[in-house]
Amino acid sequence: MIDIPDRTVIPSVRHLKELETALTSTSPYVLLTNVHIGNLESLSKKCISAGYKVLVHCDLIGGFRPDRDGIRLLKNMYGVSGVLTQSAQVVNFAQKAGMYGILRVFIMDSRSLEKGQQVLEDVRPDGIEILPGAMADRYWELFEPYADNATLIAGGMIVTTKERDNLFDCGYSAITVSSPGLWDIRE
């Protein structure tokens, strides 16, 4: 499981100009989603020096290969705390490297949902990100059994405070959001 407070909004930084805003959020994590291996070191250092742990979508890092050595590089050279991926193998690489392995499960149709559930039978991720988050509330019952061993995260297409709060009320511990207006929930 991921060490994260309940009802955490993890800023998903897609545009580098939004990083400063992310570094004022109440989340202990920042998710860097639009990075290249060439700028990851400076961005990661900036987050870490501001007191945040870094997560990355390792399948989306430009110029990077998420193999065993690549994952160790993320941990040892860039200080990354965890990776989000669709690959069960990459989750295992991350966990063996001492990082959080978060498996991304898509619920675009019944086939993708079935495939995601099959993968969850073979891997024990630290977290499960259900995508798109805007539909994740409808499928809470399918993922709730995993909540004892994995942090359940909803992500993607969450654009209103009502959607955000509804996902937390369903039971999701965290959500990943790219809309800066939803990053801070101090109310």
Burial 160-186 (b: 16+ CB within 10 A, else e): eeebbebbbebebbbbbbbbbebbeee
Position 1 in a domain: no
pLDDT at 187 over 60: no
Over residues 20-66, the pLDDT tens digits come to 999 999 999 999 998 999 999 999 999 999 999 999 999 999 999 99
How confident is the model at residue 34, as a pLDDT?
Answer: 84
pTM of the model: 0.96
Express the helix, strand and coil content of the chain in percent, nearest 5 each.
45, 20, 35
Domain limits for position 60: 8-181
The DSSP string of 47-88 is HHHTT-EEEEEGGG-BT---SHHHHHHHHHTT---EEEES-H
The band of 88, judged by pLDDT with boundaries at 50, 70 and 90, is: very high
Position 17 in a domain: yes
The band of 81, judged by pLDDT with boundaries at 50, 70 and 90, is: very high
How confident is the model at residue 184, as a pLDDT?
Answer: 79
Position 3 in a domain: no
In three-state secondary structure terms, 2 is: coil
Question: What type of residue sits at position 186?
Answer: R
Position 187 in a domain: no
| Average pLDDT of the segment spanning 96-121 | 93
Total domain count for the chain?
1
Question: Would strands 8-13 and 53-57 be described as parallel, antiparallel, or unpaired?
Answer: unpaired
Position 167 in a domain: yes
Q: State how far the Cα of 53 lies from the Cα of 71, in Å rounded to an integer.
A: 16
Would you say 93 and 67 are in contact if contact means Cβ atoms under 8 Å apart?
Answer: yes
Position 15 in a domain: yes
Over residues 150-184, the pLDDT tens digits come to 999 999 999 999 999 999 999 999 999 999 999 97
Position 116 in a domain: yes
How confident is the model at residue 186, as a pLDDT?
Answer: 60
How confident is the model at residue 35, as a pLDDT?
Answer: 93
CATH number at residue 157: 3.20.20.70
| Average pLDDT of the segment spanning 84-92 | 96
